[in-house]
Amino acid sequence: MQPDVSTDFLIIGAGFAGCVIGERLAAAGWKCVVVDRREHVGGNAYDETDAAGVLVHRYGPHYFRTNSPRVVDYLSRFTEWHAVDYTIKSFTRGRYWSFPVNLNTFEEYLGRSSSPEEFAGWLGRLRVPVNDPQNSEEIILAQVGREFYELFFENYTLKQWRRHPRDLDASVCGRIPLRTNRDDRYLAENFQALPKHGFAAMFGRMLEASPGLELHLGVDFQEARKRWPCRHLIYTGALDEYFAYRYGPLPYRSLRFEAESFSAEQLVGRRAVAGKSGYWQPVMQVNFPDMEVPYTRIVEMKHATGQTVDATTIIREYPKDWQRGGEPYYPVPAPDARVAYRRYATLAETEPNVSFVGRLATYRYYNMDQVIGMALAEAEKLILRYGSQSSRNIV
């Protein structure tokens, strides 16, 4: 450590980006201080057992999935896994629909049985020909045609983003798979599982494995940079906030979560809807495209965790505009937002000895595995630059 610094690395944010980099650098022998303004680790992936005894995800459902064996191998050092086929439904026109769109959805639409061939033929006639979809409207029209676009995507997207799908990148709605068979899993990645004892437990083991890492919760960046002068700063918060909103705030979308718990007795009347006792709804997530419904989805995480507990908890998600001081849950994937982000990214490139890592600092609509991959790559770069324990004096 240099005499004028109190830690080698100061890491702002104890979400996936901050904890993964911290764990890697501490394992290489460096002294790391990780801070978070929240009172817990895990960032938005944080989970906890609520007053009803149900394991819930405090900041919206976090379905771990990836095609990266490297990311799975890395996390498997800190957790075992509970395999889950994430299954959801959409609720509109007064009924539940299989979602994402698959052969079952088509049969529900027709009101009779069908075949992959008939469905493919139907799609072939309804699809709008677009060679290179440029936005979320074009990509869905090109995949399923106008009928299903209007039924499942247009209003849901307007509600979630307060933007029309044509004003969002194709990758936003393009995340949702389309299948002509009966595979109704929400996600397409090879590996789909939750940490067996939850995300918070996994983060706990990650930090336990890092004795050279000091964690301070309830501490903001401004205070941290004064308390711990460092050799290198790793910043995983919002990029515009780092620069004190010099060019104005970037656009974000925020959410309000509303939880409601039910005892076993209260759930008796829901058995017909849920299809089994002890649950409130038939699957872990139900999406609500209708504009009259103020929330976008209801999540009942017990379906996914497989937790055996009599009670259950559902969480309704209400999209809302972001304002300074609020939680910037989603960067907005759209051309105008990208232009605004580029100005900040140019400033970031000129910051000496600072790495900007994670979903908010790079303003990307990234899933957990993508952020973990980014953090592993940045840790490798830093170890190459500063060396590891055996070569600590090499700067």
- CA 348 – CA 364 distance, rounded (Å): 15
Interface with ligand FAD by CB under 6 A: which range of 24-32, 37-45, 116-124, 168-176? 37-45
Which residue in 10, 11, 17, 193 binds ligand FAD (CB under 6 A)?
17
Roughly how many angstroms between the first and final C-alpha of the chain, as a whole number? 10
The DSSP secondary-structure symbol of 185 reads B
Angle in degrees, 0-180, between the axes of helices 103-110 and 116-126, rounded to the nearest 10: 80
Q: How far is the CB of 276 from ligand UDP (least distance, A)?
A: 23
Per the listing, tokens 């759209």 go with 334
The enclosing H or E element of 334 equals none
Q: Does residue 60 bind ligand FAD (CB under 6 A)?
A: yes
Nearest of 12, 2, 20, 9 to residue 207 by alpha carbon: 20
Which residue in 7, 8, 11, 15 binds ligand FAD (CB under 6 A)?
15
Q: Does residue 156 bind ligand UDP (CB under 6 A)?
A: yes
Q: How far is the CB of 62 from ligand UDP (least distance, A)?
A: 9
- Footprint (CB under 6 A) of ligand UDP, residues 86-125: 90, 99
Per-residue x/- mask for ligand UDP, residues 175 to 194, rule CB under 6 A?
Answer: xx------------------
Which residue in 371, 379, 382, 383 binds ligand FAD (CB under 6 A)?
371
Write phi, then psi, for 98 (nearest 5 degrees): -65, 135
- Footprint (CB under 6 A) of ligand FAD, residues 306-365: 329, 358-360
- Footprint (CB under 6 A) of ligand UDP, residues 136-155: 152-153
Q: What are the strands, taking DSSP E only, across the chain?
A: 7-12, 32-36, 47-49, 55-57, 65-66, 81-83, 88-92, 95-99, 191-195, 213-217, 230-235, 252-262, 285-287, 297-299, 312-321, 330-331, 354-356
Task: Compare residues 63 and 279 and give the one whose CB is closer to ligand FAD.
Answer: 63
Interface with ligand FAD by CB under 6 A: which range of 57-65, 100-108, 149-157, 259-267? 57-65
The DSSP secondary-structure symbol of 141 reads H
**Coil, helix or strand for 35?**
strand
Which residue in 172, 202, 332, 337 binds ligand UDP (CB under 6 A)?
172
- CA 228 – CA 164 distance, rounded (Å): 45
Per-residue x/- mask for ligand UDP, residues 279 to 308, rule CB under 6 A?
Answer: --------x-x-------------------
Per the listing, tokens 């595995």 go with 369
Partner interacting with residue 152 (select from ligand FAD, ligand UDP, none; CB below 5-8 Å by kind): ligand UDP
- CA 337 – CA 322 distance, rounded (Å): 14
Q: How far is the CB of 131 from ligand FAD (least distance, A)?
A: 30
Q: What is the DSSP pairing of strand 47-49 with strand 32-36?
A: unpaired
**DSSP secondary structure of 291-311:** TTSS-SEEE-THHHH----S-
Nearest of 153, 157, 134 to residue 145 by alpha carbon: 153
Which residue in 24, 31, 62, 302 binds ligand FAD (CB under 6 A)?
62
- Footprint (CB under 6 A) of ligand FAD, residues 218-237: 220-221, 236-237
The residue ranges that bind ligand FAD (CB under 6 A) are 12-18, 35-38, 43-45, 59-64, 220-221, 236-237, 241, 255, 329, 358-360, 366-369, 371
The residue ranges that bind ligand UDP (CB under 6 A) are 90, 99, 152-153, 156-157, 160, 172-173, 175-176, 287, 289
